[in-house]
């Protein structure tokens, strides 16, 4: 046998072993397409596993369909009362916007809206979608809240009053400026007051200077009055003596 023939035999042997190994691996790891469940330690058939998954999925479909049917009933009930509820909500919004009466607020309890069961009873439908219960709304000072239109009007009136007050304030500022200028300007009231104070100081100084002569003149006047009184008394005495002398003759 030639060398080329030996090589071909060895190649044939290697290829045979490779194909044998491949066939053995395919046989031992083949997919079980049976529909039988089989024991727990054995891998279940692929058809059975797919059927089981389909059954579980169908259970979800049935549950979802049941929820859809119940939800459809609720939606149809809501849709039936929807026009009436829309009119009610529109009326409530209009009341909040420009209503003349104090507004109402939604009643909340434990973070949840409290439904108005009386409304459902009035409609004679216990399953009717209940509207929220309303109560008089109050501010932080416990006063009733009014509609937006009322507060808008009060805001505009307040703006007008503020504008008038600002105009009055500007007039007073202008008047204060004029009075300040009149009071502190040259030859104005304050300057005149300073001149008058200076005059009064000079007058008081002159009065102080005239006090000694005034006292002297008062003393001299009193002395002169005393002297006059004594002279008048002496004249009366002389006159009395003259009358007596004339009678003696």
Residue 105's pLDDT is 87
- Distance (Å, rounded) from C-alpha 72 to C-alpha 81? 14
Residues 99, 151: contact at Cβ < 8 Å?
Answer: no
As a whole number, mean pLDDT of residues 66-79 equals 85
Of the chain, the end-to-end C-alpha distance in Å amounts to 229
Q: Band of the pLDDT at 165, cuts 50, 70, 90? A: very high
Give percent above pLDDT 70 in the chain: 82
| Mean pLDDT across 193-215 | 81
Residue 106's contacts (CB-CB under 8 Å, 6 or more residues apart) are 113, 132, 133, 134
The pLDDT assigned to 166 comes to 94
Please choose, from the candidates 179, 224, 50, the residue with its C-alpha nearest in 3D space to the C-alpha of residue 58: 50
134-136 and 104-106 strand pairing = antiparallel
- Digit-coded pLDDT (tens) for 176-194: 888 777 766 666 666 777 7
Lowest mean pLDDT across 88-97, 123-132, 148-157: 123-132
Which pTM does this prediction carry? 0.43
Can you tell me the distance from the alpha carbon of 45 to that of 206, in angstroms, rounded to the nearest whole number?
Answer: 139
Q: Per residue in 100-136, pLDDT tens? A: 888 888 888 888 888 877 766 665 666 666 778 888 8
Asked if 162 and 116 touch (Cβ cutoff 8 Å), the reply is no
> Is the predicted pLDDT of residue 244 greater than 80, yes or no?
no
CB 130 within 8 A of CB 117: yes
């Amino acid at each position: 046998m030639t060398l080329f023939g030996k090589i071909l035999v060895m190649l044939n042997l290697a290829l045979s072993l490779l194909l044998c190994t491949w066939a053995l691996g395919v046989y031992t790891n083949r997919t079980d397409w049976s529909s039988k469940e089989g024991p727990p330690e054995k891998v279940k058939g692929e058809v059975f596993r797919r059927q089981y998954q389909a059954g579980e999925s169908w259970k979800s479909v049935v549950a979802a369909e049941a929820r859809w049917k119940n939800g459809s009933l609720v939606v149809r009930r809501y849709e039936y009362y929807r026009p009436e509820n829309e009119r009610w909500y529109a009326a409530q919004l209009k009341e909040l916007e420009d209503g003349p009466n104090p507004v109402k607020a939604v009643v909340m309890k434990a973070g949840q809206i409290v439904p108005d069961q009386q409304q459902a009873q009035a409609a004679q439908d216990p399953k009717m979608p209940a509207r929220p219960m309303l109560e008089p709304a109050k501010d932080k000072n416990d006063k009733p809240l009014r509609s937006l239109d009322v507060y808008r009007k009060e805001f505009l009136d307040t703006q007008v009053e503020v504008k008038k007050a600002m105009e009055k304030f500007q007039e007073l500022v202008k008047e204060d400026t004029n009075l300040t200028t009149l009071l502190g300007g040259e030859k104005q009231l304050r300057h005149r007051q300073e001149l008058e104070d200076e005059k009064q100081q000079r007058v008081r100084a002159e009065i102080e200077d005239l006090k000694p002569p005034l006292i002297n003149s008062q003393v001299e006047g009193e002395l002169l009055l005393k002297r006059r009184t004594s002279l008048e008394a002496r004249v009366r005495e002389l006159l009395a003596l003259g009358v007596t002398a004339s009678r003696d003759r």
